[in-house]
Amino acid sequence: MSTPLLIQALQGQTLSRPPVWFMRQAGRYLPEYRELRAKAPDFIAFCLNPEMAAEATLQPMRRFGFDAAIVFADILLIPGALGQKVWFEAGEGPRLGALPSVQSMADKAQQAGEALKAVGQTLSLVRAELEPERALIGFAGAPWTVATYMLDGEHRTMGKGERAAARTYAYTQPEVVYGLLDVLVEATAHYLKMQQDAGAQVLKIFESWAEGLPDDLFESLVLKPHQKLVARARELGVTVPLIGFPRGSAALAERYARECDVQGVALDTACPLDVGQRVQKIKPIQGALDPLLLRAGGDALDRRVDQLMEAWGQGPWIFNLGHGILPDVPIAHVEQVLKRIGAQ
């Protein structure tokens, strides 16, 4: 059985073409997804229905033949497993209730994998249907990103672009914030271990809100929790490659690559090509096409794909977006990219 291209890239191999998958590749831009989603009573129920979530995971694989599937789930399943109320409002996004005590959440942390075993069932269903040459990715939100939602709670609408409430808590109530981060490290490590045991061959840590942090907060809220999470996951028996995604970290991505023991670093849309090249000298990279350009299409899309191929194609690299695919992206534009890089 041949090793999937994604795993070859994470092993440091430079390939004839980069393996490709897209963040949020299962989702609203696909008519078959919209039809499936309409059958679920709410988004959380959809994520925790193994048959429906497996079907959503496989839909883009059938249509496009990406080199990897990523399990259909959500980063905010962990707060629910820790006892915080989570719900999604149409057109508004996630909402969270009052933050439980850190101790009550700590008591539940080691059972997070068991509490979310439906995600493991989804992974098992997908792995059974997925071709062996295509990798299966599990994932979790990084501790700080998940904490921002948990701390902001129902006040997310105030300064949400900068996660104002959560960042303020980090300055004014550090004992609460860092206690919560430790709980999330433990819970997330168990959650990732469960996903590996269910069939995930790669695990990704999504740090969606590393953006805008001064370097001291980046170290304490992003880098150190990632280091702890990777170490704890390895203690629990996680052996598969890990991809870290410190979105918006800019030049700090180089430090992250040097100091965090992940096997790959995902880069965001704003990452300059030369920074990507420097990170790539440290470890394999992933990224970083602009989702808005994917939506726009045309010659500009071809040019940017060519620029990325020229800049990063000489080293280990996974072609991806710099953030998630948008709901109104034309399917033809996805096909355009895959043809351009030789994946179709």
Query: pLDDT for 2-60, tens place per residue?
Result: 899 999 999 999 999 999 999 999 999 999 999 999 999 999 999 999 999 999 999 99
DSSP letters, 156-186, are TTSSGGGTHHHHHHHHH-HHHHHHHHHHHHH
Average pLDDT over residues 200-227: 96
- pLDDT for 159 equals 42
208 appears as a binding residue in the annotation: yes
Q: Which residue has the higher pLDDT, 164 or 219?
A: 219
Average pLDDT over residues 104-108: 98
Contact 11, 308 (CB under 8 A): no
CA distances from 201 to 57, 71, 133, 228, 240 (A): 15, 11, 11, 21, 6
Number of domains the chain is built from: 1
Contact 98, 178 (CB under 8 A): no
Catalytic residues: 24, 28, 37, 74, 149
Within 13 Å and on the Cβ side, how many CA atoms surround 120? 15
- pLDDT for 1 equals 59
Q: Which residue has the higher pLDDT, 89 or 85?
A: 85
CA distances from 85 to 16, 94, 191, 270, 271 (A): 47, 11, 18, 34, 35
Average pLDDT over residues 311-318: 97
CA distances from 324 to 55, 268, 289, 332 (A): 19, 10, 10, 17
Give yes or no for residue 136 having a pLDDT over 60: yes
27 appears as a binding residue in the annotation: yes
The length of the chain, given as a count of residues? 344
Helix 50-64 vs helix 331-340: angle between axes, to the nearest 10 degrees?
Answer: 60
- pLDDT for 212 equals 87
CATH number of the domain that 74 lies in? Answer: 3.20.20.210
- pLDDT for 93 equals 83
- pLDDT for 302 equals 98
Rounded CA-CA distance 78/75 in Å is: 7
Contact 95, 86 (CB under 8 A): yes
Three-state DSSP class for residue 69: strand
Average pLDDT over residues 285-289: 97
Confidence of residue 208 (pLDDT cuts 50, 70, 90): very high
Q: Which residue has the higher pLDDT, 91 or 62?
A: 62
Residue 291 has a CB neighbour count (10 Å cut-off) of 18
Give yes or no for residue 327 having a pLDDT over 50: yes
Three-state DSSP class for residue 297: coil
Average pLDDT along the chain: 95
Confidence of residue 86 (pLDDT cuts 50, 70, 90): very high
| Contacts with 253 (C-beta within 8 Å, 6 or more apart), sequence order | 246, 265, 267, 271, 275, 279
Average pLDDT over residues 191-202: 98
Q: Model confidence over 228-284: pLDDT tens digits?
A: 999 999 999 999 999 999 999 988 999 999 999 999 999 999 999 999 999 999 999
Confidence of residue 162 (pLDDT cuts 50, 70, 90): low
**Domain housing 217:** 5-340
Give yes or no for residue 107 having a pLDDT over 70: yes
25 appears as a binding residue in the annotation: yes
